[in-house]
Amino acid sequence: MINKHPHNLLQGLSDLSLGHQPVAAPNGDPTVKGPALVVGYLGTMTILVGCIILLPLIMIVFYPQDAGYAHCFIIPGLSAMVVGYLMTLRLKDQRKARLEKHQDTAIILFAWLIAVAICSLPFLMTGKLNVTQAVFETTSGLSTTGLTVINPDVCPHIFLFYRSVLLFFGGVGLVLIMVSALSDSQGMRLYQAEGHNDRLLPNLARSARLILSIYSGYIIAGTLALVIAGMPLFDSLNHATAALSTGGFSVRSGSIGSYNSVAIEAIVIVLMILGSTNFMVVVLLLRGRFRAFLKHTETRSYAICIIAMTVATAAVMLGEGTYSTLPDSLRVSVFQVVSAMSGTGFQTVDSFTAMPSSVLFLLTICMLLGGQTGSTSGAIKQVRVAVTMHSLVWSIRDRFGHRRNVHTYKVNRFGKADVLSASEQHDMLMYVVLYLTVFLIGSFIFMLFGYSSQDSMFEFSSALGAVGLSVGITGVDANPVIMWTAIVGMFVGRLEIYPVFFGIWRIVKDVSERR
């Protein structure tokens, strides 16, 4: 049975400061539950955030001219670790109760809000960004979007690296880093609440370490490959991290197009695809299970979408005269389609405003579709795309055949056929509808400021899908309403909408019960 506790979630903070003792369990053992349990877990997350903020200080060794910015990281980093430690005192040597209904989503919601708030402080302390801009840049990093208000050509190396650090931890998921400190059952609930559905090994902590190992290994390999292809080491490290996290932050204002290298573009394409592929599918590849890899539903769906959209985009570019030769059209289209669909946001073109409207339309569709579940990619995700298309086809067949049959859909997960239940299909279809609804609302808000429907949809689909491609709407001089709309879009899109809604519902419920 799940224990019920009517206290307000925020009451745990006051309980902590007053030194309240844990609630005793029926058997007399002290058990931490309710708001105090939430605060304890958030304390662990706050310590983690503090450690993340301190990591860029490593760059001072290589770029001593950036030492003047050290205080921007030391002060918020150490402060977060101290506050987090005080918050975790409630859990020290105590038995932890089970999380109540939707309490896991509330923890996820608060954890990400805390991370955004604290991680924005280094940007804010420079005095060069206001609160809105600092929060925008931080949210873009942690959500692995890549939209930016910073000119990388004049940005200090320590902050360029800091953006890549945000991409790294935002890509694998903040909870993934935290789960080793929790019980396996509680950690799994938080892990799933953050939008993950894969457990690579029976033990979640071992799964977390395996994912981090794979993730880090690919970044190292990608960095070496880019260096060999002619990219400077610092640029290679940051671009490999951004590609694997499908984040898109670049150290150059011209992004990958600045290097004008086919070899670099090919390496980045591979890294973007790997980053937007389910971690479990990556494990299948590493273990040599190629047949299971190829049978996986999302592998097929993703490949079909990339090929189809690449051919369509190249044909449009060639037909519109954007590029005069087929090789040039294919080179640009394959990179931009993978960048858009994987949710990375790198670009090899000077500006999207000069692109034909038909190309922007195709790229908007790519940004809505997204990569695979269990990856660093955002948007609707390929499994939902596959199920939605299947449901649409069967619905049309039934209407033409005057039948009203109930059809089952088999999803091949990691080489094994799995029949989706009616409720699972319904949930996926509802998510697609909800996602598109949020997309239309955000796009409409952009339109209210005088932007065209095409540009508004392109820009907001980029924010909501954690992509990072831009036509210039979310620039440094953008209206604050535009910026906060994009911030909400990036935040909601990264957490896949449901955790945000359920987390808010849980908070409101606790507040109302407290009254």
**What is the tens place of the pLDDT at every residue in 338-374?**
999 999 999 999 888 888 999 999 999 999 999 998 7
Whether residue 4 is predicted with pLDDT greater than 60 in this model: the reply is no
DSSP conformational letter for 325: S
Q: Considering only 112-116, 164-168, 284-288, 432-436, which range has the smallest mean pLDDT?
A: 284-288
Give 50 or 421, the one with higher predicted confidence: 50
Q: What percent of the chain has pLDDT over 70?
A: 81
Question: Does position 13 have pLDDT exceeding 70, yes or no?
Answer: no
What is the spatial distance between Cα 143 and Cα 343, in angstroms, rounded to a whole number? 10
Cross-sheet strand order for the sheet of 23-24: 23-24, 30-32, 95-96
Q: How far apart are the first and last CA of the chain?
A: 25
Give one DSSP letter per residue of 329-341, joined into a string: HHHHHHHHHHHHH
Q: What is the mean pLDDT of residues 84-88?
A: 90
pTM: predicted TM-score of the whole model, two decimal places: 0.85
Q: Would you state the pLDDT for residue 286? A: 80
Alpha-carbon distance values, 174 to 101, 249, 253, 355, 494 (Å):
21, 19, 28, 37, 12
Instruction: Say yes or no to pLDDT of 233 above 80.
Output: yes
Reduced DSSP (H G I as helix, E B as strand, rest coil) percent helix, strand, coil of the chain, to 5: 65, 5, 30
Nearest-CA neighbor of 242 among 263, 265, 209, 271?
271
420 or 250, higher pLDDT:
250
Tokens of 107: 């923890």
Q: How confident is the model at residue 412 (pLDDT cuts 50, 70, 90)?
A: confident
Residue-level pLDDT at 456: 96
Of 285-299, 414-428, 444-458, the poorest mean pLDDT is in 414-428
Separation CA 90–CA 170 (nearest Å): 27
Q: Of 2, 203, 226, which is closest to residue 104 (Cα–Cα)?
A: 2
pLDDT at residue 236 tops 90? yes
pLDDT of amino acid 1: 32
Contact 490, 464 (CB under 8 A): yes
- Which band of pLDDT confidence, cut at 50, 70 and 90, is reported for residue 396? confident
| Mean pLDDT taken over the chain | 83
Q: Of 398, 370, 399, 397, which Cα lies nearest the Cα of 386?
A: 370
The pLDDT of residue 464: 95
DSSP state of 150: S
pLDDT band at 7 (very low <50, low <70, confident <90, very high): very low
Residue 128: CB atoms within 10 A of its CB come to: 13
Tell whether the model's pLDDT for residue 27 goes beyond 50.
no
Structure token digits, residue 17: 């400061």
Query: Looking at residue 95, what is its pLDDT?
Result: 65
Distance of CA 221 to the CA centre of its chain: 22
- Calculate the CA 9 to chain-centre distance: 26
Pairwise CA distance, residues 208 & 252, whole Å? 32
How far is 145 from 360, CA to CA, in rounded Å? 18
Q: What is the per-residue pLDDT across 119-130, written as a single tens digit (0 to 9) for each?
A: 999 999 999 999
Most confidently modeled range among 6-20, 63-77, 486-500? 63-77
- Residue pLDDT, tens place only, 137-169: 999 999 999 999 999 999 999 999 999 999 998
For residue 126, the model assigns a pLDDT of 94
Are the C-beta atoms of residues 96 and 496 closer than 8 Å to each other? Answer: no
pLDDT tens digits, 189-211: 555 545 555 544 445 566 677 77
Contact 222, 214 (CB under 8 A): no
Tell me the CA distances in angstroms from 238 to 161, 223, 329, 439, 488, one per residue in order.
7, 8, 27, 30, 26
Let me know: does 246 contact 343? Beta carbons within 8 Å. yes
Higher pLDDT residue, 147 or 513?
A: 147
Predicted pLDDT of residue 495: 83
Q: Which pair of tokens denotes residue 194?
A: 């953050």
Q: Is the pLDDT of residue 262 over 70?
A: yes
Residue 81: pLDDT over 90: yes
For residue 279, give Cα distances in angstroms to 215, 374, 414, 417, 460: 9, 6, 11, 18, 27
Contact 241, 219 (CB under 8 A): yes
Q: 165-182 burial, b if ≥16 CB within 10 A, otherwise e?
A: bbbbbbbbbbbbbbbbeb
How far, in Å, CA of 188 to CA of 191, rounded? 5
Contact in structure between 182 and 190 (CB atoms under 8 Å)? yes
Predicted local confidence at residue 9, as pLDDT: 31
The answer, yes or no, to whether residue 217 has pLDDT greater than 70, is yes
